[in-house]
């Protein structure tokens, strides 16, 4: 079973920031938080990952709370192309499979 | 483009038949994962290979098997197909098993329809 809880769906206006929450209250000290997204039946796309520090790359920012029990993925300026299912996954180590939950369906509208 | 290729894109077949799905990992990646995505089960891990050896198994049926060849491409064989096997099948590749984090990069998938 997935170790994360995410809202089923969220809406966002184009150009605004999309903030996607994820609860992972049972996360262990050596588990990382990964985010992937899947755009309309395409292969899942890696977005970002982190352990305890906030992370930023060209796609998004990841904010992890100090107790590591939750995190937020931030898409700073959402576009229509960001409409997708976003998956938050906790993972203990390299070389292990990804366990996907149901994710959050983000709908970006103009 | 993730660099992972999968063929064919679409496959339509009948119940009881056998099919083979093919995956070519990103250049240099040694690890290949297979996932199944059906409407009712979501994305589920099937099996993992690393440098030609089976590494881990997930919810893979006995009717399904896989292998990874010396050139690192992988094939997923599905036999005695049933209607419920209709799904998207994705493969993903990653560079390493240990010594740091690895990112899995997914292919575009094969859509299997069993009639």
What is the model's pLDDT at position B102? 76
Q: Alpha-carbon Rg of chain B, whole angstroms? A: 13
Other residues' Cβ atoms within 10 Å of the Cβ of residue B38: 15
Instruction: Compare CB distances from B108 to A42, A94, A97 and report the shortest one's residue.
Output: A42
Q: Is there a contact between B98 and A94 if contact means CB atoms under 8 Å apart?
A: yes
Q: Using one digit for the tens of pLDDT, what is the confidence trace for A89-100?
A: 998 767 788 999
> On the CB side of A17, how many CA atoms lie within 13 Å of its CA?
10
Q: Is there a contact between A43 and B31 if contact means CB atoms under 8 Å apart?
A: no
Q: Using one digit for the tens of pLDDT, what is the confidence trace for B4-19?
A: 999 999 999 999 999 9
Q: How far apart are CA B82 and CA B113, in angstroms?
A: 10
Q: Using one digit for the tens of pLDDT, what is the confidence trace for A55-76?
A: 999 999 999 999 999 999 999 9
What is the model's pLDDT at position B98? 58
Q: Is there a contact between B94 and A42 if contact means CB atoms under 8 Å apart?
A: no
* Closest by Cα among A42, A46, A37, A33 to A82: A37
> Is the per-residue pLDDT at B65 higher than 90?
yes
Q: Measured between CA atoms, how close is A68 to chain B, in angstroms?
A: 18
A94 part of contact set with chain B, CB < 8 Å: yes
What are residue B74's DSSP bridge partners?
Answer: B23, B68
A102 part of contact set with chain B, CB < 8 Å: yes
Q: Measured between CA atoms, how close is A63 to chain B, in angstroms?
A: 19
Residues 6+ apart with CB under 8 A from A33: A22, A24, A27, A49, A50, A51, A62, A64, A71, A88, A89, A90
């Amino acid at each position: 079973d997935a170790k994360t809880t995410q809202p089923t769906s969220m809406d966002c206006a184009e150009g605004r920031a999309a903030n996607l929450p994820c609860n992972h209250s049972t996360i262990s000290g050596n588990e990382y938080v990964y985010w992937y997204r899947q755009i309309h039946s395409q292969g899942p796309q890696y977005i970002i990952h982190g352990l305890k520090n906030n992370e930023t790359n060209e796609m998004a920012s990841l904010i992890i709370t100090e107790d590591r029990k939750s995190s937020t993925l931030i898409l700073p300026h959402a576009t229509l192309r960001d409409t997708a299912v976003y998956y938050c996954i906790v993972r203990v180590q390299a070389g292990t499979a990804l366990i996907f939950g149901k994710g959050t369906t983000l709908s970006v509208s103009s | 483009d993730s660099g992972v290729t999968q063929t064919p894109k679409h496959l339509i077949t009948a119940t009881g038949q056998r099919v083979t799905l093919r995956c070519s990992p990103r250049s240099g990646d040694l690890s290949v994962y297979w996932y199944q995505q059906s409407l009712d089960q979501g994305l589920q891990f099937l099996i993992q290979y690393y440098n030609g050896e089976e590494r881990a198994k997930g919810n893979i049926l006995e009717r399904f098997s896989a292998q990874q060849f010396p050139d690192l491409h992988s094939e997923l064989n599905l036999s005695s197909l049933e209607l419920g096997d209709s799904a998207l099948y994705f493969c993903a590749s990653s560079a390493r098993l240990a010594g740091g984090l690895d990112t899995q990069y997914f292919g575009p998938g094969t859509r299997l329809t069993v009639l």
